[in-house]
Structure 1
Amino acid sequence: MDSPTKRKQYVIKPPIPSDEKQRLAAVRSYHLLDTLPEKDFDNITALTASICDTPIALVTLLDTDRNFLKSHYGLAFNEAPRDTSFCGHAILEETDVFVVEDARIDPRFEKNPLTTNMQAVFYAGARLVNSDGFSLGTLCVFDTKPRTITSKQRRALTALAYQVVNLFEARKHNRMLLAAQEELKERNEELKSFAGIVSHDMKMPLANMIITSDMLHAKYGNVLDAQAKKYLDYIKQSSFTLSEYISGLLEHYETDKTISSIAETFDSQDLIEEIIELLNINIDCEINLPEENIEMQANKSALEQIFINLVGNSLKYNDKDKIKIDIDCFEKDDVYYFSISDNGMGIPEEELSNIFDLFGTIGVLDRNGVKGNGIGLSTVKKLITKLGGEIEIFSTLGVGTTFKFSIQKKIIV
């Protein structure tokens, strides 16, 4: 038997592709080198070995100086030198499948250690070509005896190689999505932090403007003309509007904190009565509560925020002398269902599709002459979605609006 030094002199090394630099960059872009075996690839090599009736099947990636075996059916190792690899030759072939029927009589492989030491006599390899045309490696089979490959096996090997590349692409795409998701998460956290800092910093000057307007009214009201008083009222009202806008933004961006609150057990009647008390209603209003009281297990803080927004809208966007609001609640299986109906202004049909969009408004003024900011309903939908529910709206212009929504029951252990 030849010594290792002498044997290497007879090995015909596979040539280096002309686009090797770009090809290697493509291989590494999939981040599969030196990764652990995966069932998806192992299933393909097992199937390939069965179809081709061979003891060995591999998914390989050709690195700078090694042939990395992403999946190795029938072998106990996961890499081999590139200089002695059959795959190094296979990636240069333009045919669909590179075949060596008997390596012992093939000048390229007769002195190859894989042939002389491991009895790798038969080889068939289909190139793994990505969408940019780079040969990444092969899906290949080995046998210890000379043989041929049938046209049916050739077609199967080509088709399975195509599926291997699809798996490569899917994993690459998933990695990119995860990276983009992480970047978006970081930017969202930065945005939340920025919004919180800016909002809190703006609230104090706005409060000072409101107080200053009242002080000017009180101290100089007797010397100000009607136009000057009107300007002061405008400054005060604008400050209130901007303050509400900022509060809405903070509420919207802090929904994650609300959702993370621990679930509680509480009565539906108590919850709704607390909301009505918080709203401090000082206008003619009739609110009809659900007939049935339900013991609920849910995120109370989030539900309070939802009700405050929806009932608050029913109060604000109502042009009737007497406001009427009907609230209903029932449970079925593991879901709570709610509805809030009012006799308010209603919403034009063409506006319903974007009513839950952030900053989406219908352009009308509320009963106090203030235009909405389009944050509240967006926050409501965001909360309901995170609570595992859905919300829908029904409205008739001039007659009223009904919101129906659901949330998942939270099991308390």
Structure 2
Amino acid sequence: MLSPPMPADEPQRLRAVRSLCLLDTPAQERFDRIVRAASHLFRVPIALVTLVDEDRQWFKARQGLAAPQTPRDVSFCGHAILSPASLVVPNALHDPRFHDNPLVLGAPFIRFYAGHPLRASDGSRVGTLCLIDTQPRDFSDADRAALADLAGWVELELNALDEREARTALAQQERFFEVSVDMLCIAATDGTFLRLSKAWSRTLGFTEAELYSTSVVNLALEEDRAATARHLARAAEGASLLHFEHRARCHDGSWRWLQWNAVPDPQMGLLYAVARDVTQARLLEDERQRVERMKNEFISTVSHELRTPLTSIRGSLGLLCGGIAGPLAPSVEQMVTIAHRNSERLLRLINDILDLEKMESGGLELCLASTDIAPLLAQALQAHQGYAAEYGVHLELEVAVDAPHARARVDEDRLGQVLANLLSNAIKFSPQGERVLLCLTREAGALRVEVADRGPGIPEAFQDRVFQKFAQADASDTRKRPGTGLGLSIAHGLVARMGGTLRFTTRAGEGTRFFFDLPECDPTPAPSS
């Protein structure tokens, strides 16, 4: 980590900081309003107005951060005041000045930073208006210009600017409204437009005069006006932020979906807002949902129609394998055995799809009852001994000394389904000769069930998708381990319906541990004598 060096004019700069008479003063709405607007305009979780003192950076206004100050020697703003231009750090982990900074490695886990220096009336750079995100991101030239313009507004508040400087700040505001690709506006709380950016005319096709003669409510389609008016009324009721969407009519008779983020100013009776055209995104989402419904309905219908004949086929093949028709020729027996195994695999897939469809539609009913958990684990382990033997894997059960009779409200069959999925996965991915461990322990008033293997671990690129439908780390046609990619998604949903959350930890080359906690029930009282 590189601590920021001292500016050449440090004594003069510190005098300018203190002459503002703002250090350690209470929050003021005129600054808080700016950081709220900056946070929403740039879509970052944290926005700050900072003053860099002798050994600290102190926050005159902050959005999304609880701490009132941080040490100067670890501050990003200490670097930002060294130049008159904005300091932009797209990814702090890749910047040698900040990659090991405690504010990067720990809270607030800074990844992106953009700060523009703030000047006192004598030109000294006294602090910054800065943006912080926990994710890396790009920052365009237009974004830099917009941040500089907002910083100009902060300077206006910092310095109690004279008339000439005030005209400069207003000119910056005009430029900000001129070049912004977003639809910026200042409106009265009843929705009357007071100031609009050029993007409104470009998006909706109306002239500025036509727009100023209407309002937020009247611009909405008739069926959306009542809801829009209710959202605006929340500003008068004290809401600090407004988020809503409505359809707005265009000059040519078409309409667009507008997504609003607004910051009310109750004292002035104003709304500072940005509206974005999200029509394309809404249409794509509507289409995605329509296709998803069609897909689910199709899969459900086909699965229901296939299950009955497939069950019959599987049963007949099972009887043939069992010798009901007498001994089969070796070649015939091999083909019948393969057909029987494939019919069982296909039936499992159909049952998984139907279970998933029931969960998503809310049609899956669980019979929850207070149940001893240890015996269910023992049964699941015994049921998988043969499968484990095929892979040369040993199964072990460990029950904590204080948990042999612990109880939880579960559906026995569905818990068995969860355990079957976790155990079969652990067995498939364990090297020959290794062990799979099934454990039951008490953890902070809950019962923890855990399945641990010593396999290769889950690839990092796949970890975010482990519980997604049809997700498989190896989705190729030549993968060595069979599976549908539905088991973990179903197990995750079933555990959630029994009051737990299925989670995992994994390390490359050392194995994976899946576990979930179930709320413990009071033990069954002993019968009275």
TM-score (norm 1): 0.49
Q: Which has the higher contact order (CA 8 A, sep 6+)?
A: 1
TM-score (norm 2): 0.40
